[in-house]
Amino acid sequence: MTSKLTLSIDTKVIKSAKRLSKLRGQSISKIVEEYLKKIGQPQNSSRTKSSILELRGIGGKASNDFNFKEEIADYLSEKYK
C-alpha cells in the first residue's frame, strides 16, 4: 500500500532531484522511497559512507554526466547567500 506525503524542501534541492530523476529514469518518489528504506536498515559496520555519498548512489550508480560536486556547490551557495 502506498500513501502520499507532503514535504517542504529547498528549491535548489528540488531542481537537483528533478535532474537526477530524469537522468536515472526514475521518479523522485521512488528515489526517496529507496533512500528511506536504505537508511531504515541497520548499518553494516564495514560500510561507512556519509549521507551525501549514500544519496549519490541510491539504488545504483548515478549517471556519468551528473555533476555531484556542482550540485553541492550550487546548494551551499544558495543556502548561505
Mean pLDDT of 48-70: 63
- Residue 36's H or E segment, with its range, is helix 28-40
Higher pLDDT pick, 2 / 62: 2
- How high does pLDDT run on average in the chain? 77
Domain ranges of the chain: 11-37+50-79
Q: Check residue 60 and give its pLDDT.
A: 57
- Is pLDDT of 47 > 80? no
pLDDT at 35 over 80: yes
pTM: 0.49
**Are the C-beta atoms of residues 53 and 7 closer than 8 Å to each other?**
no
Q: Nearest Cα to 32, choosing from 48, 23, 43, 21? A: 21
